[in-house]
Amino acid sequence: MRLIQYVMLLFVFCGRGHALPTMTNETPADPYIFTTDLLPLDPRFLPPLANGLLGWRVYGGIMHMGGVYNGEGGDCHRANLPCPLAVRMDLDEVEKAGRLQHSYSLDTHTGIFTHSLRTVSVIASQSLYTHRHHPNLLVMEVLLVRQGTSQEPITIKMDSRFTPQSDDIVFHSEPDYKGASYIQGHTTMAEVPGGICPSVHIIWTPITPSLTLLPDQAQSRWGFVVAVAGSQDSVQAHYDTALELMANGNLRPSHLRAWEELWAGSTLELTGPDNLSRALIGCMFYLLSAFPSLHEAPGHFGGVSPGGLSNGGSGQDYWGHVFWDQDTWMYPSIGLFYPQLARAVLEYRVRTVDGAKDNAEKQGYKGLKFPWESAVSGREVCPEDIYGQQEIHINGDVTLAFQHYLYLTEDMSMFTEGRGSEVIWGVADYWVSRVTWSAEEQNYHILGVMPPDEYYYNVNNSVYTNTVAKFSLEFAVELAALLKYPAPQEWQQVADKIKIPFDQKQKYHPEYDGYKKGQFVKQADTVMLGYPLGLPMTPEVRRNDLEFYEAVTDPGGPAMTWGMFAVGWLELGEVEKAGHLLQKCFKNIQGPFQVWSESSDGSGAVNFLTGMGGFLQAVLFGYTGFRVQKDCLAFAPSIPEDITQLCIRGVSYLGNKMDWLVRGQEVYIILREGAKHAGNTKPCALQVVLKNSGTKIPLIPGKPVTFPRESGMICKVDRALSCWPM
């Protein structure tokens, strides 16, 4: 009985995004569809549409392509490309007379933005999307459907802002290709002297200034595509694909299928406050949009910047550079669902190893120093030296992502052929050369750094930096043992004896040497020792860190902060406090399309994926208590009263995919049958082990299990057995 009920429950609750169980006969509004009659006044809050390769903002005149930057060093920024779809649909005056209604909606099930116009004589809709399966394509479709009985021709205007020019690229016209317009050019300034200036080729279906429904037509449909690529062969091939897909009616369906698949493998839904539901869906949608297609070898993935691909031109949204925001803030929520996309992030870092080596040398140290701000080469591209010089915790943030990947997948190939071990060992060498022995304190110090809290610089022993350094050294030793690599002794020595500042009297972690309790801080810093770093400490110390720092954290600071505090309070079982902190994040959500701004007053970077990543982690790791550990995925679910159910579908662990449901005092898990995994043969046999009772429950594909809501872990049935090809 229970099992059947449960299967039904999972099916109803998790089966399809919008099929939330409801007690009334009214159909609740689909939380995946963001609709408005009125566009936000600030165009920065129009919805960004991206697919990991191309990104633009609805109606915007410019778009960007992953990895295409213009400008040298600190000037390097995403190259603006003109977007032929910068077109707004309108009616001519005659049609406007007939009771006009507008509506704009972003359907996050499908990634399609639609503007609909309705009068007595016509329904017109303009749909825009960045293709999810074929990432080199952008699409616009227009549909006119005659209403009533009139036989008049009906004309709509297509007001275009497009000019085939850019400040970053000198475009040249090429002869039309199969009736489509074609321009190409390359950026004007390479990231490093003598470096490559990437080429961009754009082919697009010309868009006429108006479209007309003829007197004998009940309806008509038009399709326009834009293909963008790095060479003539490639752009023509992509345009050909688009024409072929259009001819056989598969352009939109292939896009829809790709989004459907993506959501099916990574769903986060709850029954609770609508605003929270919508916010979570928005965060997942924009974050998924920033990552590559599941169908592509992600060889050219250019990393994720704080504002994503839609933003980041010269002087904006951190120039489109890649920061720790990617590895620490966005990656964990994506990596929990898609090892393949997690690996794309790691591979991006591997491709920048030469630059990282150069950065370390320039600073006078050994090994690798990942840039505070990264573009393509891995050389430092931060416009201000101090961050690149001092905000060195980035190195440990990068290695932590590799470490979690290994624990979640046991995919050693990432570390061997994938060169991940070079990253880990290079960073370990850097730390060893970067520390100073303190004869007085008999431990290692890291002097002259800027902590994550950027209100301070030139400080000694930032507690976050030293802790992340310690953990990355320990991981280097662990990985070396796995790969039978002779680890230098210093790695372990430094890890063992690096200073982790601690105030014995007040039982808390000072942010750095000499930090006075009560000093103002910019953002989550020391509280991150608990999560994501997982530094062991007593609940008392954890509480003190949370309380002391919460009181002095700048309310105007960046959006990701409160999520980290929320995770901390959830660890301590303070569910209400956590909920209160999450409410603070709503101030950063701007307008109907759930676009985040970096600061709560709407300023700063937009489509602020970093903040979304922090918010998602508060739920994905906070409410579930998920912790990625060496031999297990630990959990400790705890949800507030106003959330009656929390459903997470597609959690990936050791080659398996699991669906989770936390409902009242119970937890349900089902292991999916036949989960496929890129490059790996068989998934590991898993079990649930409950903490208090020690109860072991095997997880058998397709067979749901349920247990009371308490802490435990998912681990291999036979821990000694490696299920993965080494």
Ligand X SMILES: *[C@@H]1O[C@H](CO)[C@@H](O)[C@H](O)[C@H]1NC(C)=O
Given the rule CB under 6 A, which residues bind ligand X?
A: 273, 275, 447, 458-460, 513-514, 583, 586
Using DSSP, state whether 110 is helix, strand or coil: coil
Do the Cβ atoms of 128 and 197 come closer than 8 Å?
no
* Nearer residue to ligand X within complex by CB, 272 or 298: 272
In angstroms, give the least distance from the CB of 332 to ligand X.
24
- The C-alpha atoms of residue 391 and residue 387 are separated, in whole angstroms, by 5
Do the Cβ atoms of 78 and 69 come closer than 8 Å?
yes
- The C-alpha atoms of residue 103 and residue 125 are separated, in whole angstroms, by 9
Residue 589: which H helix or E strand, with range? strand 589-590
CA separation (Å) from 210 to 6, 86, 158, 178, 266? 54, 14, 5, 21, 40
DSSP 475-523: HHHHHHHHTT----HHHHHHHHHB----BTTTTB--SSTTPPTT--BSS
In angstroms, give the least distance from the CB of 445 to ligand X.
7
In terms of residues, how long is the chain? 726
In angstroms, give the least distance from the CB of 600 to ligand X.
11
Which residue among the candidates 174, 454, 574, 710 is catalytic per the annotation?
454
In angstroms, give the least distance from the CB of 57 to ligand X.
25
In angstroms, give the least distance from the CB of 662 to ligand X.
19
Phi, psi dihedral angles at 388 (to 5 degrees)? -65, -40
Nearest alpha-carbon partner for 559 in 597, 512, 595: 597
* Nearer residue to ligand X within complex by CB, 585 or 688: 585
In angstroms, give the least distance from the CB of 9 to ligand X.
24
* Nearer residue to ligand X within complex by CB, 437 or 586: 586
Query: Pairing between strand 589-590 and 122-130?
Result: unpaired
Nearest alpha-carbon partner for 134 in 264, 253, 48: 253
Residues with Cβ within 8 Å of 431's Cβ and at least 6 positions away in sequence, in order, are: 367, 395, 396, 446, 469, 472, 473, 494
Residue 454 among the catalytic residues: yes
* Nearer residue to ligand X within complex by CB, 447 or 726: 447
* Nearer residue to ligand X within complex by CB, 475 or 596: 596
In angstroms, give the least distance from the CB of 504 to ligand X.
19
Do the Cβ atoms of 581 and 565 come closer than 8 Å?
yes
- The C-alpha atoms of residue 695 and residue 444 are separated, in whole angstroms, by 43
- The C-alpha atoms of residue 356 and residue 91 are separated, in whole angstroms, by 54
* Nearer residue to ligand X within complex by CB, 452 or 704: 452
* Nearer residue to ligand X within complex by CB, 11 or 586: 586
- Residues assigned a catalytic role: 454
